[in-house]
Chains A and B, each alone.
Chain A
Amino acid sequence: AQSVSQHNHHVILSEAASLELGCNYSYGGTVNLFWYVQYPGQHLQLLLKYFSGDPLVKGIKGFEAEFIKSKFSFNLRKPSVQWSDTAEYFCAVAGGDYKLSFGAGTTVTVRA
């Protein structure tokens, strides 16, 4: 079974600051990797995903993530955050059975 670890529980930053959220996973086989976002009062939305190919993945709203296989990592980045990026962010991993394992989530608070 796979497991996912997110390094930060709560991140507070100012608008225009850069954001990086860490995600490490443990799994012996081929994985598919995801970042989801949950805005206050809303459902989970897919930010980006990695299945294969270019390890640098670009998603919606200016987010990107880099898959580093040797480090079992899939960190999420955004060069300049906005107040509207305040949300809960979840890293998730799926193996061949398509079942998602989620990290504990990181709460991001962006101050205007």
Chain B
Amino acid sequence: GAVVSQHPSRVICKSGTSVKIECRSLDFQATTMFWYRQFPKQSLMLMATSNEGSKATYEQGVEKDKFLINHASLTLSTLTVTSAHPEDSSFYICSGSLGNNEQFFGPGTRLTVL
């Protein structure tokens, strides 16, 4: 149980375009979803926290207009990287939580911006 999926697993886009990444909790309702970014050989950095039906809370230094998060239902959250640039290339990981302080992680999405 407690499976989280992400789509796509890999995406390559041109600079200036927007990319949407989906995060779904497949067998549970995630009251809260989290979005992380992981650079090569580095740890996960929390970008934002989203609760279903409300605005996401962004961590310091994360541009909310750049990284748009929508949490439309208890099983789906989306991250849209707007006007992507090469420095946005990274591994984006989402997680879902049942609200008991345990998170279940998706497999991640590798974004490459050319």
A42 to B91 Cα, complex, angstroms = 13
Main secondary structure of the interface of B (DSSP, over half): strand
18 contacts between A and B (CB under 8 A): A32-B101, A36-B105, A42-B107, A43-B93, A43-B105, A43-B107, A44-B93, A49-B102, A98-B97, A98-B99, A99-B34, A99-B46, A99-B49, A100-B34, A100-B103, A103-B43, A104-B43, A105-B43
Q: Shortest Cβ distance from A95 into chain B, in angstroms?
A: 10
Q: Are A100 and B43 in contact (CB under 8 A)?
A: no
- Most chain B beta carbons < 10 A, residue from A44, A51, A90, A105: A44
A82 contacts the other chain (Cβ, under 8 Å)? Answer: no
Query: Chain A, 44-87, contact with B by CB distance < 8 Å: what is the 0/1 string?
Result: 11100101000000000000000000000000000000000000
The chain B residues found within 8 Å of chain A, CB to CB, are 4, 32, 34, 42-46, 49, 93, 95, 97, 99, 101-108
Closest 10 CB pairs of A and B: A44-B105, A43-B107, A102-B43, A102-B44, A104-B43, A43-B105, A32-B101, A98-B101, A105-B43, A94-B101
Note all chain B residues with C-beta closer than 8 A to A94. Answer: 101
Q: Shortest Cβ distance from A74 into chain B, in angstroms?
A: 15
Q: Are A104 and B101 in contact (CB under 8 A)?
A: no
Note all chain A residues with C-beta closer than 8 A to B43. Answer: 90, 102-105
Given the known interface contacts A94-B101, A99-B49, A100-B34, the answer about A43 and B44 at a Cβ–Cβ threshold of 8 Å is no
A109 contacts the other chain (Cβ, under 8 Å)? Answer: no
- Most chain A beta carbons < 10 A, residue from B46, B104, B105: B105
Q: Shortest Cβ distance from B24 into chain A, in angstroms?
A: 13
List CB contacts (< 8 Å) of A11-46 with chain B: 32, 36, 42-46
Partner of B44, one of A32, A42, A90: A90
Note all chain A residues with C-beta closer than 8 A to B32. Answer: 98
Q: Shortest Cβ distance from B48 into chain A, in angstroms?
A: 10
Q: Shortest Cβ distance from A91 into chain B, in angstroms?
A: 10
A71 to B93 Cα, complex, angstroms = 31
Q: Shortest Cβ distance from A92 into chain B, in angstroms?
A: 8
